[in-house]
């Protein structure tokens, strides 16, 4: 019986980035919404600030996860 080929190191780093990006976006969305509502932001200001925070949080955590995955390759 033949085993399935293992994913390459680049594929593992890609998956690590995608998982980290998803986790970072969701956590930044929760915390960003809470803090924006506390500051009194509404409407367009709320959506733009939360969206920016979600992208920043996702990118940051995605980079950390991809670096951690690359170290383990």
Is residue 47 domain-resident?
yes
Which residues in the chain show pLDDT less than 50? none
For residue 1, the model assigns a pLDDT of: 72
Does a structural domain hold residue 58?
A: yes
Would you tell me the crossing angle of helices 43-72 and 9-39 to the nearest 10 degrees? 150
Amino acid 3: pLDDT: 86
State which residues form the domain around 31.
Answer: 9-72
- Predicted model pTM: 0.83
> From the CB of residue 40, how many other CB atoms can be counted at a distance below 10 Å?
8
For the chain, helix (H) and strand (E) counts, in that order, are 2, 0
Q: Find out whether 33 and 50 touch, Cβ atoms under 8 Å.
A: yes
2 found inside a domain: no
Quick one: pLDDT at residue 25? 96
Nearest one of 62, 63, 69 to 19, comparing CA atoms: 62
What distance, in Å, lies between the first and last C-alpha atoms of the chain?
A: 26
pLDDT value of position 64? 96
Number of domain units in the chain? 1
In a domain, 68, yes or no: yes
């Amino acid at each position: 019986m033949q085993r399935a080929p293992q994913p390459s190191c680049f594929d593992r780093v890609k998956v690590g980035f995608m998982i980290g990006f998803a986790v970072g976006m969701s956590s930044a969305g929760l915390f960003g919404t809470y803090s924006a509502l506390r500051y009194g932001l509404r409407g367009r200001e709320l959506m733009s600030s939360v969206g920016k925070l979600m992208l920043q949080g996702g990118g940051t955590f995605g980079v950390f996860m991809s670096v951690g995955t690359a170290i383990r390759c």
